[in-house]
Amino acid sequence: MAKKTEIRKGAVVEVRMINPKKTGTVTLRDYTDPDTQALRKFKDSNGNPRVKKYTKALTVLRLDIENDALEYEHIKHHPLYVQGAHPILRIVDITLEAEDRTSKRESALEALIEAKGLRGDKLYNFARVLGVNTLNVLESIVKDKVYDIAEKTPTEFLKAFNDPNRVFKEVLHKGKTKGVFAVKNNIWKFRETLMGANIDEAILWLNDNEDLMPSIRKELSSVSV
């Protein structure tokens, strides 16, 4: 009896020929594992030897069917057809692809919802953290660029939005834009005081010098950007 493989209810895998016109027929049978040199036998669910010929550009395997699941486990490790330097087959897990697309869409939606709530100073402050130029730029244009980032790179957007140090980063980027902080060769200074050799060290400096925050915020509010 062949060893049973994982059965995934409703899961679908596609075996796609990378270049169907040049490939012709592909025959799947036993092969030697290049790492262990062990013979990987191709068997059905009853332990019988099996040979499978792929003649179409696309073959669908349903992983809640045991023979299809066994075939998938066998072919996805093939040292020539799939894992070789010049593979002729591509194995695509449709279920995982769908889940991945859904996850990306949901992240983009979440990011866009957060972006929608940003207006005025909140929008400008966060836009600078994202690297958006806000100097003398209309709010509608800044909002459009923030939306664009949220839509195209939602994971990075949400990471920046939910960053526990976001407030400090907003202060630093706003201060950099207004000239309250001097930044040269990535070295941050407040007046003549060294804050750090990078933004992370500058954040730590702000944490350690909370008594200066009122005067820093006062300077920040004195100039409009």
- The pLDDT, as a whole number, for residue 5 is 58
Binning pLDDT at 50, 70 and 90, where does residue 223 land? low
Least Cα distance to 112 among 143, 139, 134 occurs for: 143
pLDDT over threshold 90, residue 119: yes
- The whole-number average pLDDT for the span 123-150 is 96
The DSSP letter of residue 180 is: S
pLDDT over threshold 70, residue 4: no
Least Cα distance to 73 among 1, 3, 17, 5 occurs for: 5
- The whole-number average pLDDT for the span 77-96 is 93
Q: C-alpha angle with apex 162: 156 to 163, nearest 5 degrees?
A: 85
> What 3-state class would DSSP assign to 91?
strand
Q: C-alpha angle with apex 71: 66 to 76, nearest 5 degrees?
A: 130
- The pLDDT, as a whole number, for residue 9 is 74
Token readout for 152 is 């195209």
Report the interhelical angle of 199-208 vs 166-178 (nearest 10°): 100
% of the chain residues with pLDDT over 70:
96
Least confident of 82-86, 153-157, 211-215: 211-215
pLDDT in tens, 146-180: 999 999 999 999 999 999 999 999 999 999 998 99
pLDDT over threshold 80, residue 224: no
Give the C-alpha separation, 170 to 204, whole Å: 14
Token readout for 136 is 């003398």
Element (DSSP H or E) covering residue 99: helix 94-116
* Residues with Cβ within 8 Å of residue 185, at least 6 apart in sequence: none
* Residues with Cβ within 8 Å of residue 210, at least 6 apart in sequence: none
pLDDT over threshold 70, residue 60: yes
- The pLDDT, as a whole number, for residue 2 is 40
- pLDDT, the chain, mean: 92
pLDDT in tens, 16-51: 999 999 998 999 999 999 989 999 999 999 999 999
* Predicted model pTM: 0.66
pLDDT over threshold 70, residue 1: no
pLDDT over threshold 90, residue 96: no
